[in-house]
Amino acid sequence: MTLFVETGQGTYQGLIDEESKVAAFKGIRYAKAPVKELRWKAPVKTEPVKGIIDVSGDFGPSCIQPVDEIELASLHQQSEDCLMLNIWTRKLTAVEEETDQSLSKWPVMVFIHGGGYIGGGAADPLYDGKQFAANHDVILVTINYRCNVLGFLDLAVLAGPEYDDARALGILDQVCALQWVNENISSFGGDPANVTVFGESAGGASVLNLMVTDQAAGLFNKAICQSGNLAISKNALIQKQVILDFYKLTGVQNIKELFELTADQLRSACEALLKKYEIQSEIIFFPYPDGKILPENGLNALRQGAAKNINLLIGSNADEFRYWKLYYDDYLDYIEFIVQALGEVADIDLTDTESIERCLKSYPTAVNRQEQWLCLLNDLLFRVNSLVVAELQSGWADTYVYHFTWPSSIPGLGACHAAELPFVFNNMDTQSGAAFTGPNPPAVLAEKMQACWVNFATTGNPAHEAIPAWDKYEKQKRQTMFIDLEWHQESDPGKESREILSRLCFK
């Protein structure tokens, strides 16, 4: 059954699922197609459309990106014309069934996908919002944004200040999507004054970047960061070298020739960059903190209250980097090199060998030297990084910290990067969900996690009756909720490594 929603942008035609009563609107354009003269330019808002806009079908295209069998959105149709969002809501059908037509608007949750700023997209079945909207009184939105060479390439190095925006277009796309939500979501039953932005990996890092981005101020008041970081980015030398390599790999001589490259040529150039930088390619498209779009030091921005009105839920997983076993089967054989290589790109100072040795020996579960370095890498990229953010933000707004420890039944993954996503979305039976959880994952864990995320989006507090008491994160106690089949709270877990790495690397 179709449903029509009138907005300032036009009338959207969605599709209602008869069983769940969830209305879905897929492929809503929130910015003009960033093609031709708009390629490598800041997003331009759409203009109102007369007539019916049919968004009752499939998701819009994913951003141009290398095909990756693990990132299922890359197998979806790709296009530069990718600046679209999707909405799931039961509010509209619920109102039709209620006698009280003055029901208040529902909280809005906007999800930003991960993918290392290299790829990914909202079309991944893992991010389908039907379960969210069917089980909870929230409006769920997922968005696409420009990635890799289209979203985070510093063209200004060679083409001048006219292309300053090119180094962080993906972030500006996210801002534009949030502006669209702010202006139009009330027509879908959502409350523009109660918006939570959440994301995982690069999506989690994006959430933190948006918290300190002036252009995003006032567009959301709660944030959930899953395995993201704010302090790690490529250094200035790599920032410049990537664009020089891009020009060399494409064979172009000037900006005019760059605009003549086809989407396939851009994808090939991105693939060549990833091959050239190997493990360092995990960072080369991270947004550069240039002091214009993003503050030069995001941690300082938080310290000074840049996000003082935003409640935060933040956390990481116990075995984050085991995810990369899916890409580098023998990664443990050179895990120390990986730490050093990523540290070099991100200007992380690991020269205090005495302190590093103390940190390595502080991990009680590490059975050998490789496992020690793996724990340190997990802390550098995710856990300690998140705790530093939590400490800073807790001085300005309510902040809660979690640590996800449920181990996958897939050999070698443990509680790896992204392992919590199937539970947050309650999409464990999807191809990508099962790839993380294995067979027969615990449904009760999904119910509890999704309830936490929704409660936080609704009230700013993730606690609910099915889990133990969850205290705010404060510098004195540093309370962390451990999420597993059994939930429990600990005070300052991993204290020694936290103290060492926060002092060395996150100032």
Query: Where in the sequence numbering do the catalytic residues fall?
Result: 201, 320, 417
Whether residue 108 contacts residue 86, with contact meaning beta carbons closer than 8 Å, is answered with no
CA angle 423, 429, 430 (to 5 degrees): 95
Output DSSP code: residue 379: I
Which H or E element spans position 256? helix 255-259
**341 backbone φψ class: left, alpha, beta (φ>0; ψ -120 to 50):** alpha
> Which sign does the torsion angle of CA 298, 142, 148, 263 carry?
negative
Q: Closest Cα partner for 71 from 130, 122, 141, 2?
A: 122
> What do you get for the CA distance between the two ends of the chain, in Å?
55
Phi, psi of 116 (to 5 degrees): 65, 20
Tell me if 108 sits within 8 A of 139, measured CB to CB: yes
Q: What is the CA radius of gyration of the chain?
A: 22
Backbone φ, ψ for residue 287 (5° rounding): -60, 135
Query: Residue 159, SS3?
Result: helix
Tokens linked to 270: 């991105």
Q: What whole-number distance in Å separates Cα of residue 223 and Cα of residue 216?
A: 12
In 363-476, alpha helices (H): 369-378, 384-394, 421-424, 431-437, 443-459
Per-residue DSSP letter, 492: S
Measure the CA–CA gap between 321 and 230, rounded to whole angstroms.
17
